Chain A
């Protein structure tokens, strides 16, 4: 459960997520975002439970310590909430997409749905 100390985010707000690999985060045949960009990393110890994002492309890139990114994805909060997920600001420069069940099939299902409503902006 993410403690919400910041104001709730409006449905109209767009959030941004950096692309961290030059290949495999979007479909090379269409250029559309692939589910990989939103897949919880359940292989990690402990498994990932939320997807990180930011309120601007600049902030999304600044979340990556190495600064090595390959583009930025934009997604509207309304579209995320319509999938039954929540979006909260949990740090000054950090947004979390929460509510994704932590089993492999559900994580993949939601990753596909999130990719479907996301677009590459940079």
Chain B
């Protein structure tokens, strides 16, 4: 493997990609609603698009979001920003194995989270997963409106 490092754990040695985990972790863990968070969330969406990959797929699945997911991800983030009166909460993105995208927001204080799945193509619906840690409940909404997503985000951080 190119650009990899050998690391040891309890006598075992394994070779992993040379990416410093600490460099992937933000300095700020406190959620504050700012418009700067919008740009940071967009930046994190860009980060899952691994343009270094020669192939569009590897052992796990897609290495890059589909064009459809990418466009709809950006579009929905802009719509959420427009509707959030109190500023934008900091989220991050994760790639699904089919090239879809997950946009994730977490309230670290109460461990609740929201996961918005942007599908890889127009044959699949967008979905919204809301998890309430305190009562171990979750809900999954198919085809959520922007209004519902905004309400869920406001609920997450209230």
Tell me the A residues contacting B by CB distance below 8 Å: 20-31, 34-36, 41, 43-44, 56-58, 60-61, 64-72, 104-105, 108-109, 112, 120-122
Instruction: Please report the C-alpha to C-alpha distance between residue A122 and residue B90 in the assembled complex, in whole angstroms.
Output: 26
B16 touches A69 (CB 8 A): yes
Chain A residue numbers with a CB within 8 Å of B48 are 21, 23-24
Kindly list the 10 A-B residue pairs having the minimum CB-CB distance in the complex, ordered from nearest.
Answer: A24-B94, A43-B98, A105-B140, A20-B60, A31-B25, A61-B14, A41-B97, A29-B29, A36-B94, A58-B12
Tell me the B residues contacting A by CB distance below 8 Å: 1, 4, 7, 9, 12-17, 19, 21-22, 24-26, 28-29, 44, 47-48, 50, 58-61, 90, 92-98, 100, 102, 104, 106, 108, 113, 115, 120, 127, 129, 131, 138-140
Which of A20, A43, A112, A120 has most chain B Cβ within 10 Å?
A43
**Total A-B contacts with CB atoms under 8 angstroms apart:** 126
Chain B residue numbers with a CB within 8 Å of A24 are 48, 92-95, 102
Find the B residue at minimum CB distance from A14.
B10
Chain A residue numbers with a CB within 8 Å of B9 are 57, 72, 121-122
Q: Which of A36, A65, A67, A104 contacts B15 (CB 8 A)?
A: A67
Instruction: Please report the C-alpha to C-alpha distance between residue A60 and residue B106 in the assembled complex, in whole angstroms.
Output: 28
Chain B residue numbers with a CB within 8 Å of A69 are 14, 16-17
Chain A residue numbers with a CB within 8 Å of B129 are 104-105, 108
Find the A residue at minimum CB distance from B49.
A23
Instruction: Please report the C-alpha to C-alpha distance between residue A105 and residue B50 in the assembled complex, in whole angstroms.
Output: 28
A interface secondary structure, majority = loop
Q: Which of A58, A71, A105, A121 contacts B138 (CB 8 A)?
A: A105
Instruction: Please report the C-alpha to C-alpha distance between residue A23 and residue B91 in the assembled complex, in whole angstroms.
Output: 13
Given contacts A24-B95, A30-B108, A36-B102, contact A67 B1 (CB under 8 A): yes
Instruction: Please report the C-alpha to C-alpha distance between residue A2 and residue B21 in the assembled complex, in whole angstroms.
Output: 35
